[in-house]
Amino acid sequence: MELSEAIPWLWCGAAVVALLRLRGRGARTWWPPCVGSALLWSLHFWGWNKPIYLAGKRLMLWTGFYEERLWFKFAIGLVFFPLVALACWRGFRLASRLSPWQRIALCVMVVDALYVTARTLSVDGWMPLAIGDEPGKSLLGITLAAAALLAMLVARPRPAAEVDDAAGR
């Protein structure tokens, strides 16, 4: 078994942990980690980002813009990074009801999703050597998936606000 083959199974384990916690106290707070880890599992298992990458590369070659791909990357960055910043800000506000460990798990999922997105949008496949080639690429994926799984294993839902009837609150 190669290192890269372990990544989807760690994400699958994270999805199963979140799925099992969808019952009982604080069940609603487990939907975001469940959906996020299931999406990352399917992405790493089936690799549905690869056809997007190849289509973008072929489009760049067909239109003759492949030699100017550095400018294309700048254009993507000008649109992509503000959208990511906005999504992270909204996600941080929406995650206020989650426990700290659930937030850590979601942050790790976001980092993995951003890494895969950056690899997909880099039409020439260039990434820093430490995380662009094996074994660095797989080690990063395993580390992120294992961190999310570990965070979900130790996470407990945040207790509901206690009502103090004696104080009339």
Q: What is the pLDDT of residue 162?
A: 42
The count of structural domains within the chain is 1
40 in a structural domain:
yes
Q: What is the mean pLDDT of residues 11-17?
A: 95
Range of the domain at 66: 3-154
Instruction: Report yes or no on 131 lying in a domain.
Output: yes
Q: What is the pLDDT of residues 32-74, one digit of tens each?
A: 999 999 999 999 999 988 898 888 888 888 888 777 777 777 8
126 near 132, Cβ under 8 Å?
yes
pLDDT in tens, 88-111: 888 888 888 888 999 999 999 999
As a whole number, the mean pLDDT across the chain is 84
Q: What does the alpha-carbon distance between residue 50 and residue 7 come to, in Å, rounded to a whole number?
A: 16
Residue of 49, 9, 26, 46 whose CA lies nearest to 149: 9
Domain membership of residue 53 (yes or no) is yes
Domain membership flag for residue 98: yes
The answer to whether position 167 is within a domain reads: no
> Would you say residue 169 lies in a domain?
no
- What is the structure's pLDDT at 163? 38
